[in-house]
């Protein structure tokens, strides 16, 4: 122990000299923290994008002739369909629950968020199991009417759009509802005073004022659409995410997967730029939060039509899938609930727990770094570190795997002559790849609640701590962390739930034998075993209710 202390003392001046030799912008430890987290996201993205600038002729020729056209067309239809449907559902329901009064509004206000607890790929296999040609509904139609040929095909572009819209409209609904709630009835009354009808006032005044929120929710829905892997896999609907998986694990070509991933990254970045440009041109104010007595009182047919519309959406998007899952799970519970299932559950909880802790701690460090250094470099690093949520899991899986594989080869070359290590894998095949990809993907999810809580702390608190001789690390641990407990708990819950539901990263980077609930669902749905996929799906749905419960208690959804 004494020798270790002496070595540390001897090395300390060298470390100090090294830090002194760095450019001034890198000498601050908290700026370096922000740079490290930005690098975790930047490296896989740059690895993927670099493959676009070093194309392999044979790979691109194959993609152009057999894959690219269908992928672009399928992706275009999916984005347009889901975008239009989520806008229609989210904006209309947000307006009704925020501004109008109708029977059941208080309950439906939070119930309309429940579909977000069901992963889209779970809703997908439930709908196929119910509505496919061999499903109970078409079977009943054939018995009752002699044929079901007229019934729309669920395994179609329209079916994919329907399922994803029902799963993703809460993103638009929640933000649109908040926007309309800040306007209240006053904006509409002002429009009517200027000669507009109620309908004209909605489209000419209320809707444009809510545009920034609505665009933000729409972009979240579209990012999830581009990133989706499980839903399109269940429908056998080829998009970039499924093509990346098939080229890697079907054609065993990581280069081709990287080429496809680079195209997907470019599409995502174009959407991000369009969203930023759209917001930068907006100038808006809010008219103050409305009161309960200021709602538009719907009467008669209009009131019950609003209730029926909201009830149908909740029933189709949440109640029907959940009830069917429970029925299927009960049928196979005795057969499937064994040591294997407990293993899936253990792996899922372990991965989600570890990823949630390291991501929440990373978010705390990143937020504190931004608080300590409000310069352009730190702000840029924070922004880069939190763009991972906009990137599809398949892209991050490819980028992280390629980077880790290169690091693995480099370490083997360096260590083999010294330690006589046999050729093999050091980092590949470990949990490291998964955890790094999880952190890069969900850092924004953990950062937002932590940073929001950090912003509420006055800077004078830091000044007082410094006058008492408290260092930065001690200040973070003993002053800020206890106060930020609420934000940290929120970050832990949100990241935990997202990691449990995450499919592509887990599927593509898991070590051998590390199957999770999401992987089990993928394997069972790939074989058409809807009932056997129900038990892990029910578990994910119940866990997914945690953020809904949190929002309903702290998000003023019952007002």
Q: Report domain extents, the chain.
A: 34-52+69-283+290-303+312-554
Beta-carbon neighbour count of residue 477 at 10 Å?
13
pLDDT for 191 equals 65
Q: Considering the entire predicted model, what is its pTM?
A: 0.81
For residue 2, the model assigns a pLDDT of 41
Contact 373, 34 (CB under 8 A): yes
> Residue 453: its pLDDT value, please?
81
- Residue 485 has a pLDDT of 84
Contact (Cβ atoms closer than 8 angstroms) between residue 540 and residue 501 = yes
Q: What angle, 0 to 180 degrees and rounded to 10, lies between the N-to-C axes of helices 120-131 and 136-145? A: 20
Cα 239-85-128 angle, rounded to 5 deg: 60
Instruction: Supply the pLDDT for residue 83.
Output: 93
Q: Which pLDDT score, from 0 to 100, does residue 398 have?
A: 86
Q: How far apart are CA 90 and CA 112, in angstroms?
A: 10
The C-alpha atoms of residue 90 and residue 318 are separated, in whole angstroms, by 15
Annotation: CATH topology of 34-52+69-283+290-303+312-554: MetI-like fold (1.10.3720)
8 Å CB contact between 79 and 225: yes
Helix (H) or strand (E) holding 305: helix 300-314
Closest CA to 502 of 341, 347, 366, 323: 347
pLDDT of residue 29: 80
Which pLDDT belongs to residue 80? 94
CA distance 79 to 75: 6
CA–CA distance, 546 with 415 (Å, rounded to integer): 46
* Residue 389 tokens, joined: 């949520």
Give residue 3's pLDDT.
Answer: 43
Q: In angstroms, how far apart are the furthest CA atoms of the chain?
A: 88
- DSSP run (H or E) holding 296: strand 296-297
pLDDT at 301: 92
How many CB atoms neighbour CB 351 within 10 A? Answer: 24
Cross-strand pairs, 297: 101
* Chain Cα centroid distance, residue 33: 24
| Paired residues of 100 in beta bridges | 296
pLDDT under 50: residue ranges of the chain: 1-12, 15, 18-19, 21, 284, 286-293, 423
């Amino acid at each position: 122990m004494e020798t270790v202390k002496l070595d540390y003392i001897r090395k300390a001046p060298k470390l100090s000299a090294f830090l002194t030799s760095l450019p001034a912008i890198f000498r601050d430890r908290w700026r370096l923290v922000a740079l490290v987290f930005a690098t975790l996201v930047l490296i896989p993205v740059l690895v993927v994008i670099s493959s676009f600038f070093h194309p392999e002729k044979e790979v691109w020729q194959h993609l152009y002739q057999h894959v690219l056209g269908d992928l672009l067309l399928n992706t275009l239809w999916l984005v347009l369909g889901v975008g239009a449907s989520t806008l229609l559902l989210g904006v209309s329901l947000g307006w009704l629950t925020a501004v109008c009064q109708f029977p059941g509004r208080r309950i439906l206000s939070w119930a309309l968020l429940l579909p977000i607890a069901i992963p889209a790929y779970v809703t997908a296999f439930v709908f196929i199991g119910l509505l496919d040609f061999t499903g109970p509904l078409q079977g009943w139609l054939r018995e009752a009417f002699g044929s079901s040929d007229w019934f729309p095909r669920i395994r179609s572009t329209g079916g994919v759009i329907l399922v994803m819209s029902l799963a993703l409209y809460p993103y638009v609904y929640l933000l649109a509802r908040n926007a309309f709630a800040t306007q209240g009835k006053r904006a509409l009354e002002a429009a009517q005073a200027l000669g507009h009808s109620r309908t004209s006032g909605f489209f000419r005044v209320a809707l444009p004022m809510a545009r920034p929120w609505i665009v933000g929710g729409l972009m979240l829905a579209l990012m999830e659409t581009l990133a989706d892997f499980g839903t399109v896999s269940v429908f056998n609907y080829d998009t970039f995410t499924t093509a990346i998986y098939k080229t890697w694990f079907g054609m065993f070509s990581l280069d081709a997967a990287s080429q496809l991933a680079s195209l997907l990254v470019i599409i995502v970045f174009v959407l991000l730029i369009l969203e930023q440009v759209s917001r930068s041109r907006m100038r808006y104010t809010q008219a103050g939060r409305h009161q309960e007595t200021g709602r538009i009182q719907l009467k008669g047919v209009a009131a019950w039509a609003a209730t029926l519309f909201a009830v149908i959406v909740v029933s189709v998007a949440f109640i029907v899938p959940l009830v069917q899952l429970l029925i299927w799970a009960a049928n196979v519970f005795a057969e499937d609930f064994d040591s294997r299932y407990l293993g899936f559950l253990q792996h899922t909880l372990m991965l989600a727990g570890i990823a949630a802790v390291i991501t929440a701690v990373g978010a705390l460090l990143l937020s504190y770094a931004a608080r300590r250094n409000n310069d352009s470099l730190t702000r840029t690093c924070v922004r880069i570190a939190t763009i991972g949520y906009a990137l599809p899991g398949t892209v991050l899986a490819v980028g992280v795997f390629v980077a880790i594989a290169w690091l693995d080869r480099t370490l083997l070359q360096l260590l083999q002559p010294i330690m006589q290590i046999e050729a093999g894998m050091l980092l590949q095949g470990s949990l490291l790849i998964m955890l790094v990809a999880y952190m890069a993907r969900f850092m924004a999810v953990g950062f937002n609640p932590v940073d929001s809580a950090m912003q509420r702390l006055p800077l004078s608190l830091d000044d007082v701590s410094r006058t008492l001789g408290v260092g930065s690390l001690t200040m973070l641990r003993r002053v800020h962390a206890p106060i930020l407990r609420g934000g940290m708990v929120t970050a832990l819950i949100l990241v935990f739930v997202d990691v449990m539901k995450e499919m592509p990263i887990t599927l593509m980077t898991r070590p051998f034998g590390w199957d999770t609930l999401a992987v089990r669902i993928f394997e069972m749905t790939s074989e058409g075993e809807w009932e056997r996929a129900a038990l892990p799906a029910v578990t994910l749905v119940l866990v997914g209710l945690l953020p809904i419960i949190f929002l309903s208690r702290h998000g003023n959804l019952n007002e």
